[in-house]
Amino acid sequence: MLIIVKNKDTLIYDDFIFKCCVGKKGFIKKKKEGDKKTPIGKFGLDNIYYRSDKKSRPISKINSTQIKKTMGWCNDIKAGRKYNKVINTNTTFNYEKLFRRDYKYDYFIPIKYNWKNTKVGSGSAIFIHLTKDYKPTAGCIGLSEKDFLILIKIINKKTKIKIL
């Protein structure tokens, strides 16, 4: 099955229609780091990441990974092969902090954008993460926690996301 992000505020999976939010500057085919745009294309999904100190292990057919205090997602164009990967925060490279004070990464799923044959500078840390206010993101897709938990119960490891 396929998750479809139809427009800036609609995510569809099977018979489910969810409200969502996307990048502040809309969609783009050729994404660049920091452009605040959501990449267009069809992508796989990674594991579900979750904060075990705040949330219970999610119920899903997709594997889950606990977020540790020392986990970051590398977004540094000087990082070479570490770019767009989980890294230890005890580093000199820039990264997106995964163990955040707010709620946005209490649960999230990395979208496998710029995943294989990673091109440094072409965008990193594109996630489906939580939102409460549906304000535009830095390029990710935001869902309410209720909708996120419904979605992860009905998708599986083979599910892809198509961003139009």
User: What's the confidence (pLDDT) of residue 161?
Assistant: 98
- Taking the CA atoms of the chain, what radius of gyration do you get in angstroms? 15
User: What's the confidence (pLDDT) of residue 1?
Assistant: 86
Give me the residue label for tokens 């939010």. 21
The residue ranking higher by pLDDT, 144 or 1, is 144
All domains of the chain in start order, with CATH: 2-163 (2.40.440.10)
Q: What is the pLDDT of residues 59-85, one digit of tens each?
A: 999 999 999 999 999 999 999 999 999
Q: What is the pLDDT of residues 89-135, one digit of tens each?
A: 999 999 999 999 999 999 999 999 999 999 999 999 999 999 999 99
Sheet holding 86-88, edge to edge: 86-88, 71-74, 95-97
User: 130: how many CB neighbours lie within 10 A of its CB?
Assistant: 21
Q: Report whether pLDDT(150) > 90.
A: yes
pTM (two decimals): 0.96
Q: What is the mean pLDDT of residues 12-36?
A: 97
Q: Report whether pLDDT(143) > 90.
A: yes
The identity of residue 3, as a single letter, is I
Q: What is the pLDDT of residues 40-55, one digit of tens each?
A: 999 999 999 999 999 9
